[in-house]
Amino acid sequence: MDTARWQRILARLPEIEPAGGAPLAVAFIGADAYAARQGTAWLWWPGSRERATGPVAFDGSYPEDWGLLLVMNDAAIAKVGADGTACMAHLARLLDIKPFVLRQREELDASGVLEFIETLELATPKH
């Protein structure tokens, strides 16, 4: 993923109401970087206006402030960048996007991440 593609994806993400809980990130990462356990993750903070979106180094660990990890192959990155988020549930069913829920349901709900997950039908956390 590059900056231009990230900006196109950001522009298409749903508007999430400001959350009352601690902010949690949705981390987008390419499948190759995930498999190598190193590279760049791109963070989006639904429900938080204070946290900056953008790239961070990924070393295979999942920081405490990440709520959802979306591992996307190149085709999924291109498709979401071109067509927006409406195709994400379909891409998840095809395993072009692999969502990993990293926190408990209550934390996801308080941060606004659960609304994102449910809106796009990416996963149904059962905690």
pLDDT, tens digit, 9 for 90 and up, residues 49-103: 778 889 999 999 999 999 999 999 999 999 998 888 889 999 999 999 999 999 9
Q: Domains, the chain, ranges and CATH?
A: 3-113 (3.30.1050)
CA distance 46 to 54: 13
CA distance 123 to 101: 8
Cα 79 to its chain centre, rounded Å, is 15
Supply the pTM of this predicted model.
Answer: 0.90
* Token couple for 123: 């996963």
pLDDT average, residue stretch 95-118: 93
pLDDT, tens digit, 9 for 90 and up, residues 13-50: 888 888 788 899 999 999 999 999 999 999 999 877 77
3-state secondary structure of 29: strand
CA distance 35 to 84: 25
Burial, 48: exposed, middle or buried (Cβ in 10 Å; 0-12, 13-18, 19+)? buried
